[in-house]
Amino acid sequence: MTVTMTDEQNRVDHIRVSGKPEAEHREIYRKLRIKDPLQREHRIVDRRL
């Protein structure tokens, strides 16, 4: 899920939150030793005019 919003400084924020991984994906994460596959991603992508 991605949420897009504008903050008080007119920056456009994208916040991405992943859902629960399926068994196949959990196996890939385990093999790659990825500890937190559901980590949040937050990016400021632009400013509103």
User: pLDDT tens digits, residue range 6-40?
Assistant: 988 888 988 877 778 888 988 998 999 987 767 66
Tokens of 44: 């400021």
Domain residue ranges of the chain, discontinuous segments joined by +: 2-47
Quick check: 5 pLDDT over 70?
Answer: yes
Side-chain half-sphere exposure of 24, counting CA atoms within 13 A: 0
Query: How much is the pLDDT for 33?
Result: 92
Query: How much is the pLDDT for 49?
Result: 67
Query: How much is the pLDDT for 41?
Result: 66
Tokens of 37: 């596959």
Q: For residues 23 and 43, which has the higher predicted lDDT (pLDDT)?
A: 23
Query: How much is the pLDDT for 39?
Result: 66
Distance from CA of residue 19 to its chain's centroid?
A: 10
